[in-house]
Each structure stands twice: as C-alpha cells, then as structure tokens.
Amino acid sequence: MTKNSLKLCLSLGLLFFALTAAATTNNAEQTLDTKIAGIMKPWMQQRGIPGAVVEVYSNGVPHAYYFGYADKDKTMPVSGNTIFEVGSITKLFTCLLLAQEVLQKDLSLNDVTADYIPEFQTQTKTPFWKITLRHLATHTASLPYDEPGTVKTDRQALSYFSRWRAPVNIGQSWAYSNVGMGLLGYILENKMHRPINNLYQNNILSPLGMTPIGTTIPEQYESYRAKGYNRAGDFMPPRDYIFPAANAIKASGNDMQKFLRASLLLQGTPFHIANAMRLTQTPFASSGTYQQGLGWVVIPLQRLNGVWVLPKKSNSVGPLPSRQLSSLQTKFNARAIIEKTGTLDGFRSYIGVIPATQSGVVLLTNRYPAFGDTTRIGHQLLLIASR
C-alpha cells in the first residue's frame, strides 16, 4: 500500500468514526426528545395544563423543551423566555444565600434565631431562643405551614410569632413551613442589610447570568409573564407575599437551566456558588426514607440491573418524626435524587438532580394539577435523563 493510499484509508476511517459518533448522538437526542414528549403531551392533555417548560441535563448535556401556551386565551406559545412563578423553589435560593454566609463564617447553622430578630428578643420564653438557622432551613423548627389568615403583613406576622409556642420538641419533628423559610429570609435581610430580592440578584442571579428578575418582574419583562390557572382552569392573578423568601421568585426556562447547571455543580459554576450549593444539598435531618438538606430533599438511590431504584417518599407536609443528623452523617451523596417542588394556586414546579450521572430536570407548568402529580412526572423525566 502506498503512503497516499494509507493516508486516504486513515482519513476515510476517521470520517466514518466521526459520522458514526454524530449519528449515535443524534439518535440518543431523538430518543430523549421522543420519551420526554411521550410523557409530557398526554399528561398535559389529561390534566388540562396550558403550558409547560422542561429543562434537562442528561449526562452533562443540556436540552430544552417547550409545550403549549403561556396564555391560553391569546394562544401565546411557551418559549425559553416565558416567565413562570417557581413557588417554593424560591426556598433553594434563600438557603443558597444562607450557605454562602455560613461558608464565609458570617453566620453559623447553629446560630439561634432570636439573635437576629429584634421582635423576638423581648420574649424570654419564646422557642426562638432554641430554634436555630439549621432548624429553619430543614423544616424542623415545629413552625406551622403558613401564617394565620388574620395576619396580613410581615409586621403582624412577627408580632404573632413572638408570642407563639412550639407544639412539640424543637428538632424532633419535620413539618414543612413557609413561615420558617420566610423568617430565614428576614434574618438574612437583617444580617446583610439589604432587601431579599437585592440579595438574590447580586449573590445568585447575576453570577449565574440569569435575568435580573427575582421576586418582582420589571416592566420590560412583563410581556413574557405566563398566566397561571387554578385546578378549575380559572385565571389566577399575581399576588404579593408576606414572606417572599418562601415562594416569590419568578424565572424563565432559560434562567432555570442556568440554575440547574449550578445545582449539578457542572464546570463553569462560580466557585462561591458551587461550594454553597453542595452545602445546601448535604442532608442535616432524616425523616423516614428521605433526608432533608438546606431546602433540598435528598432521596438515596440504589442501582438494580442498571436502573436507578427510587424508594417511596411521602407527599405529606408533616408533622413527621425526624432526627437531626450528626456531623459524621452529614455527607454529600451523589447517588441520590436531590429535589424540590413548588406550588402556587396557578403554577406548579419541580427541580431534581442526580449528581452521579450529571443529570437534572426542571419542570414548570402554569396550572396546578393533581396533588403529587408534578413530582411523579418530574421523577419520570429525571430517570429518563439519567439513563
């Protein structure tokens, strides 16, 4: 064989390899696309969901899918710029701020809540002298799910909870609490001397290259806002929140893909955010088959015959028996589903990651489906992305 013939064979071989690799990648993408559409379209039709976004990382590679309408009356299609209410996924941003302060040693998870809330300091018997920042961030402070209906402002809320008494022992019961996360946001504002939305924008949104929206939508982005619809299919107008740190963030699919990337600690994530993200995803309390990080729920996984096995998880908001994990037990687990859901009258959201496979999913919808439905679909999407 001549030298030129050898070069030609090598060139043809390399070309064949490149074409084969490209075809394999395209087939894998088509398979992922087909599977995601096969889950989302029937579900949306069955539940009457007008619009949805699915942001995916599969083995470190991003994908994005948009379905239906942001406004069903105007038939305005969902896009990567459509802004959804993410509900309680806001709590992940709040806990990320806390983790940044802890790593900078400006706060400690063992700090007592009353030290940072002047309204509580005049009450010597208040349980907030025992409730720590760790309790607030892990829903183990025994606080109620929401403030009473008679409370209309943050000042009224602080006055009410200054007289509140814990129904069970602090740290021994898990009960999901918007109040606890709202108080954590109030503490961060007091400690850092800035409004919570300013903290989100400067410490998280801007470093990740997300749109500077946060808890309020500036006028120039208002046209991208999705309309939210309740279970009956009626439009739910936007509302204000007493504790915005619990559920008030708005974000587009494009923005949430950037947050998802940071949640997976992928290359390019700013150092101070990556370290804080890992701390938030570390379990600090345990309840039944799952563990509680700072905002995130951690569900350990097992691999059986090449498939991730997901243990049963209760959809209860508590109270449930819980225990605080020791320093030896607070270990980051990459072989777990680390997730969070968000619920508002007109919106439902889910974010979940499996760090071991560099895979993750964000699901945003503009209608509230059946209880537990979004988590079920989120798990299906996430397990597909992780194969």
The 10s digit of each residue's pLDDT in 31-88 is 999 999 999 999 999 999 999 999 999 999 999 999 999 999 999 999 999 999 999 9
Residue type, 168: V
3-state helix, strand, coil in the chain (%, to 5): 40, 20, 35
**pTM for the whole structure:** 0.91
Residues 97 and 242: their CA atoms lie apart, in Å, by 19
* Pair of tokens at residue 289: 């088959």
CATH number for 166:
3.40.710.10
| Residue 302 confidence class, pLDDT cut points 50, 70, 90 | confident
| DSSP output for 1-40 | --HHHHHHHHHHHHHHHHHHHHHHHHHHHHHHHHHHHHHH
* Residue 4 falls inside a structural domain: no
CA quadruple 205, 206, 211, 213: dihedral sign: positive
Q: How far is CA 150 from CA 16, 244, 247, in A?
A: 71, 18, 19
Which residues contact residue 161 at a Cβ distance below 8 angstroms, ignoring those fewer than 6 apart?
120, 128, 143, 147, 179, 183
Evaluate whether 299 touches 288 at the Cβ level (below 8 Å): no
Evaluate whether 257 touches 84 at the Cβ level (below 8 Å): no
pLDDT tens, residue by residue, 191-202: 999 999 999 999
* Residue 362 falls inside a structural domain: yes
Which residues contact residue 125 at a Cβ distance below 8 angstroms, ignoring those fewer than 6 apart?
165
Angle at 184 between CA 183 and CA 186, to 5 degrees: 60
Tell me the longest C-alpha to C-alpha distance in the chain: 93
Strand 323-324 and strand 51-58: the pairing is: unpaired
Q: Which residues pair with 54 in a beta bridge?
A: 65, 363
Peptide bond into 244 cis (omega under 30): no
* Residue 238 falls inside a structural domain: yes
* Pair of tokens at residue 379: 């798990």
* Residue 302 falls inside a structural domain: yes
Query: Given a cut of 90, is residue 309 above it in pLDDT?
Result: no
Return the residue matching tokens 């799910």. 145
* Residue 20 falls inside a structural domain: no
* Residue 16 falls inside a structural domain: no
Query: How many structural domains is the chain composed of?
Result: 1
Full domain range(s) for residue 205: 33-385
Evaluate whether 79 touches 223 at the Cβ level (below 8 Å): no
Region 239-265: mean pLDDT is 96
Residue 285 φ then ψ, to 5°? -145, 160
Question: Of 309 and 119, which is predicted with more confidence?
Answer: 119
* Residue 3 falls inside a structural domain: no
Closest CA to 308 of 376, 377, 378, 382: 382
* Residue 189 falls inside a structural domain: yes
Evaluate whether 220 touches 46 at the Cβ level (below 8 Å): no
Query: Given a cut of 70, is residue 7 above it in pLDDT?
Result: no
pLDDT tens, residue by residue, 173-229: 999 999 999 999 999 999 999 999 999 999 999 999 999 999 999 999 999 999 999
Angle at 252 between CA 250 and CA 255, to 5 degrees: 100
User: What pLDDT is attached to residue 54?
Assistant: 98
